[in-house]
Every structure is written in structure tokens, then in C-alpha cells.
């Protein structure tokens, strides 16, 4: 069955346009609640319950109320956590032994977008079949439980404190961040109250950026998707390094004292290198977009490497399949399964800092063996439904490019999940060759797509 509403990371769109409307979220809460009641394993007399968190978008108030009403009508109790990072809701769902966690966020998107994503009782993204069950129930008429069985709602006053302590406990007890000056960019998003507490309470001196949300400035020229902001803050303040999170706190980008930007591939390599030295790594999962130089560097560590489809849920699925503890995307989603059940920007940052502290070194030194291959990405507009993968001219061009690159590069064609675009990515050891091949392939796609 094909999905109508759920994408790779929940339901997402522009607020006020289907499906991100109050009436849809009301029905979504009801459908999700009914699915939970049908599939849960409650003890006799136990009531189903969910936790709802959100980022700092102004639309979060409206969508939170709609979801709360839907769950209540289905007979599900609701715990409201307020603004908290996505991974915090994953943690609290497990810690409070709840049936599901709900996050209202569009992650790194601008403020006019929003979305709804769910976590299971185990703190992981819901399986596809559960999301499909919820979608099926959306077609059924919405009802309402008798008054005696309606769900209740209450706020969790200590939600932030619980998560702060959880994050701090992933940092080695024998270490601290005293003497370290860190520029911290919270993207005016969900982490603006908890991330500063975590790093400050571990001893760091902080220079805060993007920590004054107003409902409409989330991700606006700040955060992990705009790393120039944290780079400027580091260079201006003389900080030892910078950490930038995205709007919902599950991505991270870092900057060293010289202003060099470290993406997800580089940070995952630092964590993997440190874990390998301590005997705690057995493999690394990346994605189709992970740099070939990253793959080769992981191999030099003596660790196996595997690529998942783009999307942190697919990275996590492959990690479970392989039984590996480390995985991530170059966009900054990093999953440390020995620390958390999902990607977490704060926790990933702490693991990088722990590696630097233990070895008394720098990001630059830790990444000295990591040489990225030049990479060129060209977005080619295509008509919806264009069968590019079965096109003879495109296939022939890809085969020719692959032969030319030989074992020193690769070609990847990938349709966008949100726009009518085909992304043409070429990677190799020779930047001039990579640029030429990428633009050549793009021209073939344009001609075939007419």
C-alpha cells in the first residue's frame, strides 16, 4: 500500500495547506489513538498514554491543541512536554513507559512549515505498517469515546530537566568541559533551553547563538543548515569550537577554532575512530550521499561500512540489521545506539567532545586521515512520474561515466522526495573530471525528460 501522508519522517507540509491543518491533525490524533488502543499490550486497568513535544514554531500551539483533542476523543491520555528536541521525546516516551511519542516539528524547514512524527514505546520511529494502519483509520468517520473514557491531559513540569540529565549521563563521568569555550547555535529551535544547560553544566563557557526564538525565526540564517552563523561566532569570540543544531535538535554541524566546518561525515568519523580505539565499534552505516573519502577512511580504521538510503530511519534500520552501533548522514544526523535509540545532535556533540578530551587533541588532528573526494551535485527538473531509471539514454550515460571514473569515483542519480527534481551526483578524485561528468549527465537527463 502506498503512503498518502507519511513520508520518511512523518507528515510534513506548509501550515494551513493539506495535510498540516487543524482538522487533519484532530483526525490524525484520533486515528493514531485508536490504532494504539487496538495494538497495545496494556495491563488490566492501565490507560493508554502519549507524550507530545514540539519545536518553537508559532503553529505548534494550534497543532498541539488539535492533536490533544484527537487523542482525548480516542480515550488516550496526553502528556504535554512543551518545546523539546525530537530525541528528547524519544527518550521520554521510553522513560515514562508510554505507548507513543509525538513531535510537532518540521526540523530544518522554515517556520511556515510544520510536521507530525511519531516514536514507538521503544523510542524508535514507528514501523511502516503502523503508519499505514493510521492512514487507513483516517478514512473512517471520527467518533468520540463516552465522557467516562475520554483521555486526560497534563503538562510534565520536569521534562527538560530529565532530558538534560540523560544527555549529561552519556558523557564520561571522569571528564568535563572546563576550560573550553564553545559557541552554541540552537537555531532558535527546540533545543534553545536544554542544550545550553547540558554544555554549561558540564563546565563549558558558552557563546550563545540562535537562542531567542519568537515563533517565526526558527532556522532563519542560523543552525546546522546555515553553518556560516556558527563559524562567524567562533571566529569573532575566539571560541575553541562551535556547535550548531537544527530546529528540532537531531542534527549537528561543528566548527573548529580556525573556522573549518565539520559535517556529519567528519563528525561520525571522529566518533568511530575514538570508538575503534577503545574497542567499542563494529561497523559504520552511512548513506548513498556519504562521501567516498569517508568510506575509505572508515575502511582504513578496519571497520566495515554499509550504505543505506537517504533518511535517518533507513540508517537506523540498517544499523539494526547489521548489529552495528554507529551510523549517520552527512547532513548531520548521527546515531549512537550505545547512547540513544535515535539521532541526537546534543549527544553526538558530546561524543565528539569526549573523544577530543580523552585524546587531548583537536577536530583537525582527528580528521587528518579523512580526505574528501570532490563532489558535484546538479538538480535537474523533471516531470512528475518521469521514468528516468528505465531510460536507455540515461542508463548508457551513467554506465559510461562509471567506467570513466573506474574505482576512483561513483555516480548517483536520486529523485528528490519533495520536489520534481532528479539529483545528479558525481564524486571522484579529480575535481575537473567530476564537474565535467556531472554536467554531462545532467544534460542527458534534461534531453530525455523533455
Q: Which residues are tagged catalytic?
A: 107
Q: Which residues of 17-29 are buried (b: 16+ CB within 10 A; e: fewer)?
A: eebbbbebbbbbb
Crossing angle for the helix pair 60-73 and 22-39, to the nearest 10 degrees: 40
**What grid cell was written down for 8?**
520518511
Give residues with Cβ within 8 angstroms of 281, minimum separation 6: 272, 275, 301, 303, 324, 325, 326
CA-to-CA dists, residue 54 to 88, 258, 348, 384, angstroms? 10, 35, 21, 33
Strand partners, 208: 184
What's the CA gap between 66 and 420, in Å, rounded?
A: 31
77-83 and 49-54 beta bridge pairing: parallel
- Map residue 207 onto helix, strand or coil: strand
**Quick one: how many helices (H) and strands (E) in the chain?**
14, 18
Those residues whose C-beta lies under 8 Å from the C-beta of residue 149, and which sit 6 or more positions away, are 75
Amino acid at each position: 500500500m502506498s503512503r498518502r501522508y507519511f513520508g520518511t519522517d512523518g507528515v510534513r507540509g506548509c501550515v494551513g495547506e493539506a495535510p498540516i491543518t487543524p482538522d487533519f491533525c484532530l483526525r490524525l490524533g484520533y486515528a493514531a489513538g485508536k490504532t494504539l488502543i487496538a495494538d497495545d499490550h496494556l495491563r488490566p486497568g492501565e490507560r493508554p498514554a502519549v507524550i507530545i513535544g514540539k519545536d518553537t514554531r508559532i503553529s505548534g500551539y494550534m497543532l498541539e491543541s488539535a492533536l490533544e483533542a484527537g487523542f482525548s476523543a480516542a480515550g488516550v491520555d496526553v502528556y504535554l512536554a512543551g518545546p523539546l528536541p525530537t530525541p528528547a521525546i524519544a527518550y521520554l516516551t521510553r522513560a515514562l513507559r508510554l505507548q507513543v511519542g509525538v513531535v510537532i516539528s518540521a526540523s530544518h524547514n522554515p517556520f511556515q512549515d510544520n510536521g507530525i512524527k511519531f516514536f514507538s514505546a521503544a523510542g524508535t520511529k514507528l514501523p511502516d505498517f503502523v503508519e499505514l494502519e493510521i492512514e487507513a483509520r483516517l478514512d473512517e468517520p471520527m467518533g468520540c469515546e463516552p465522557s467516562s473514557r475520554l483521555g486526560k491531559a497534563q503538562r510534565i513540569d520536569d521534562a527538560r530537566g530529565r532530558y538534560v540529565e540523560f544527555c549529561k549521563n552519556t558523557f564520561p563521568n571522569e571528564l568535563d568541559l572546563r576550560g573550553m569555550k564553545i559557541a552554541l547555535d540552537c537555531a532558535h529551535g527546540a533545543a534553545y533551553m536544554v542544550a545550553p544547560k547540558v554544555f554549561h553544566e558540564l563546565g563549558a563557557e558558552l557563546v550563545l547563538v540562535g537562542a531567542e526564538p519568537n515563533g517565526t525565526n526558527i532556522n532563519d540564517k542560523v543552525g546546522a543548515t546555515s553553518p556560516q552563523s556558527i563559524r562567524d561566532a567562533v571566529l569573532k569570540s575566539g571560541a575553541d569550537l562551535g556547535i550548531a543544531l537544527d530546529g528540532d535538535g537531531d542534527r549537528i554541524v561543528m566548527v573548529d577554532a580556525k573556522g573549518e566546518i565539520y559535517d556529519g561525515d567528519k563528525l561520525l568519523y571522529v566518533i568511530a575512530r575514538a570508538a575503534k580505539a577503545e574497542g567499542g565499534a563494529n561497523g559504520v552505516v552511512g548513506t548513498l550521499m556519504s562521501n567516498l573519502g569517508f568510506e575509505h577512511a572508515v575502511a582504513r580504521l578496519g571497520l566495515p561500512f554499509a550504505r543505506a538510503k537517504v533518511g535517518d530511519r533507513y540508517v537506523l534500520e540498517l544499523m539494526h540489521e547489521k548489529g552495528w552501533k554507529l551510523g549517520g548522514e552527512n547532513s548531520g544526523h548521527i546515531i549512537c545506539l550505545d547512547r540513544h535509540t535515535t539521532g541526537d545532535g546534543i549527544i553526538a556533540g558530546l561524543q565528539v567532545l569526549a573523544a577530543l578530551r580523552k585524546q587531548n587533541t583537536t577536530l583537525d588532528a582527528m580528521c587528518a586521515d579523512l580526505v574528501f573526494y570532490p563532489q558535484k551535485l546538479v538538480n535537474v527538473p523533471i516531470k512528475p512520474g518521469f521514468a528516468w531509471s528505465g531510460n536507455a539514454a540515461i542508463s548508457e550515460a551513467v554506465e559510461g561515466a562509471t567506467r570513466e571514473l573506474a574505482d576512483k569515483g561513483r555516480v548517483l542519480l536520486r529523485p528528490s522526495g519533495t520536489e520534481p527534481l532528479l539529483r545528479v551526483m558525481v564524486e571522484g578524485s579529480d575535481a575537473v573530471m567530476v564537474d565535467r561528468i556531472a554536467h554531462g549527465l545532467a544534460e542527458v537527463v534534461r534531453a530525455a525528460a523533455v
